[in-house]
Amino acid sequence: MRHLGPAILLALLCPGVPSARAADGPSDDGSSPTPLAADDGDEPSDPPDDDEGEAFRHFKAFSSTMTCEADEHAMPFNHQIRGVNLGGWMVLEPWITPSLFYQFLGGNETTTAMDHYSFCEVLGPEEGNRQLRRHWETWVTQDIIKQLAESEAVNSLRLPVGDFMYQPYGPYVGCTDGALDYVDTLLDWADSYGLSVLIDVHTAKDSQNGFDNSGQSLGFQWTSGLNKYPRGLTTFQHWPIREANWIGDFDPVALEYTSVNRANIEHSLRVIETIVEMYSGHPAVLGIEPVNEPWELTPLHLLKRFYWDAYLIVKRKAHYWKFIIHDSFRFTPETWGGFMKGCPDRALDTHIYQAWLDPASRLSFYNNACAQKRQIALMEREFGPVVVGEWSLATDNCAMWLNGFNDNLSGFPRSPCKYIPCSESYLNGDDYQQPGTPLEVGKGLQGPYGTGISGPAYGLCPVDRDWYTPRYNEGEDGM
């Protein structure tokens, strides 16, 4: 599981640095995307005289400027979040739960799944739901939640959920039936053990970033017809043509959006409204993150307006929920400084990963962490509270399928990886055998093949490499 950690942890590595508070075409309804209007630029600092604002319990919100005026009773976001992500549970990611995807090794264009969307599409609603229910039953258990609480190391859980769980569409219909029952149970467990839960809407229709963690990897193209010689392999490409069409139609040549998909945006807002209606009275819910990791090419004025509309939906019914927005991979004061100024209970989420950096010494990674800490302190001055919603101690890209099922990002991994016997499936038991498991140790790397290599071979799986030490560099056994 990906870890959720407070920004304050970075201060331990950086003495003298001030601490930071932790914390595609026509849509389904037949409507067509609307032309993309130009960015209106920075929001004015003060609302115009004709904007009387919307009054809430302890503050007033001004939609013309996307800012607020709060009174002395407004609740500040001033507590530290220390927690973990329940990654891979409600939203499948092959690198987190690979044994769910072993069954697709050796597949072709019609029998291979690479994300949650194609998992349901290939298996169909009945078989997909059967396997998902086994997964939901075994991946997160009450004993795990109990251990987390008793460790006293965490006080909160970040729960990635799919938009399709609340407003089903496409192949998800029927395939994810029953998911909400497990969410209800998880919330009750968390409440009984004194843990809060941040509901993170991890997916969006037509993908907000093109990653498999959005539910659907976009863009994607089978290239088998171009690879008939010399072996006739089943091949595909994803990373060179990645796109994200949640917000509108993306032009990969101009690297910009040509239209806005209002239907998709409204769908996401309905999902948020449904979540608020379902859980506003549950004591375990800390708040909501309206969309996870919208990519850096998302038009900022559209993203900010989506965040603002979602905030108003939340505050109308869940008065004290925290509202955490992702930085869209643009963690700068120029991007977020002044946005939602004066609005209570909001925080900015940034995700810190060093796994995509060049191989380096321990000191280099420590220095990078210190630089992140300084940027967090700056953002807290310019925007407000910051939460590091995802982070990891990994310093390489070796984890199997980290960059997608049977694929890898061009140029990665950037250092040799270690191979160890693949883990046994968590799904298997006396009365259940997950298709595709156990792996056949006599088989080498199987297709379909992406633009990079990552996958099991002869029963071995790639994992993080060992650290190199000075003794190793001197020719001794120092790994």
Which residues carry out catalysis?
Answer: 293, 390
Position 418, amino acid: K
Phi and psi, residue 409, nearest 5°: -65, 140
Residue 50 Cα distances to 47, 62, 70, 311, 384, angstroms: 8, 10, 19, 22, 28
Give the span between the Cα atoms of 340 and 308, in whole angstroms.
Answer: 8
Query: Any idea what the Cα angle at residue 115 is, between residues 111 and 121, rounded to 5°?
Result: 45
Phi and psi, residue 334, nearest 5°: -65, -30
**Other CB atoms within 10 A of residue 203 CB:** 30
Helix axes 179-192, 116-139, angle to 10 degrees: 40
Bridge partners of 43, per DSSP, are none
Closest CA to 274 of 183, 167, 366, 433: 167
Bridge partners of 160, per DSSP, are 200
Give the span between the Cα atoms of 396 and 417, in whole angstroms.
Answer: 9
Contact between 336 and 300 under an 8 Å Cβ cutoff? The reply is no
Give the span between the Cα atoms of 145 and 45, in whole angstroms.
Answer: 44
Q: Is 25 helix (H, G, I), strand (E, B) or coil?
A: coil
Please confirm whether the linkage preceding 438 is cis (ω < 30° from 0). Answer: yes
Alpha helices in 26-178 (DSSP H): 116-139, 142-151
Give the span between the Cα atoms of 439 and 457, in whole angstroms.
Answer: 9
Residue 386 Cα distances to 80, 133, 319, 346, 398, angstroms: 10, 35, 20, 9, 29
Place of tokens 């010494």: 361
Bridge partners of 5, per DSSP, are 388
Sign of the torsion angle spanned by Cα atoms 183, 399, 155, 322: negative
Position 379, amino acid: M
Give the span between the Cα atoms of 453 and 447, in whole angstroms.
Answer: 10
Give the span between the Cα atoms of 376 and 327, in whole angstroms.
Answer: 12
